[in-house]
Amino acid sequence: MAARTEHGGQTGTPRPPAPEPAPAPVRRPRSRGAAVVSVFGELLITAGVVLGLFVAYSLWWTNVLADREAARQGDDVRHHWAQAPGRDGTPRTFDSKDGIGFLHVPAMKNGEVLVKKGTDTASLNDGIAGYYTEPVKSALPWDEKGNFTLAAHRDGHGAKFHNIHKIKKGDAIVFETRDTWYIYKVYKELPKTSKYNVDVLKPVPEESGKTTPGRYLTLTTCTPIFTSDYRYIVWAQLDRTEKVDTNRTPPPELR
């Protein structure tokens, strides 16, 4: 029989008392050492992000900007050639301000590279190659004798000589002027030498094995990749020349 309350109502089974709430966890303050480690970790993450952005800028975005500028300057040179055609073998081919021509190296798969006077950083940052004026003055392709010496970046700023290590003995290197195709053949590579080794630029590059004057070409750039500790050298010798026709048909080496 159900129990009655004093007011006459019936009651059911008595409810158990509600459980007491669990005590809140005690939050202990972080030690000074833990706080320092946390802040240091956040700084490392931030530094990593900044470094990653800098690397992307140096190795990718500078290439984009340099390629745009090199293309613009190259278009100006070709426009100038079209407006004022020269004559084969005359000094009118020379134009140190706008550029003297275009380097084509099939083994590097880097397209055409505008060549201008000077190897200072500001010039090479435009995504071009430059011919040396010092410490050893470069010859020019149309000179009867000498060493046509060039430099370009290997990484960043166009990286026109990035794949220089793919050039092998017997490969063709072609230099295009307004009037003439100069076709060189590679005969020697020097994968590593001191950045102070200026002998590689001499009119007769004896380090390459040559002992008599000729019409040589020398490519120089930094090595190893992503550093500037040493220099990578490629030597070539003029094999022949071809006159540029009205359609600017490239020599077989470039087809």
**pLDDT tens digits for range 48-72:** 544 444 444 456 788 999 999 999 9
- Residue 222 a catalytic site member: yes
Q: What is the pLDDT of residue 83?
A: 80
Percent of the chain with pLDDT over 90: 66
Q: How far apart are CA 140 and CA 22, in angstroms?
A: 89
Could you tell me where the beta strands, DSSP code E, fall in the chain?
A: 101-104, 112-117, 129-131, 146-151, 172-176, 180-194, 215-223, 230-243
Beta carbons within 8 Å of 69's beta carbon, 6+ residues apart: 126, 127
Round the average pLDDT of the chain to a whole number and report it. Answer: 84
Set out the domains of the chain in order of their start, with CATH numbers: 57-254 (2.40.260.10)
Tokens of 227: 């550093």
DSSP 70-101: HHHHHHHHHHHHHHS---TTSGGG--TTT-SE
Q: Count the residues in the chain.
A: 255
Residue 100 has pLDDT above 60, yes or no: yes
Angle CA(248)–CA(151)–CA(64) in degrees, nearest 5? 75
Q: How confident is the model at residue 11 (pLDDT cuts 50, 70, 90)?
A: very low
Q: What is the pLDDT of residue 42?
A: 62
Least confident of 45-49, 143-147, 149-153, 178-182: 45-49
**pLDDT tens digits for range 209-230:** 999 999 999 999 999 999 999 9
Q: What is the pLDDT of residue 19?
A: 66
At 248 the three-state DSSP class reads coil
85-114: average pLDDT: 76
Which member of 103, 113, 200, 222 is catalytic? 222
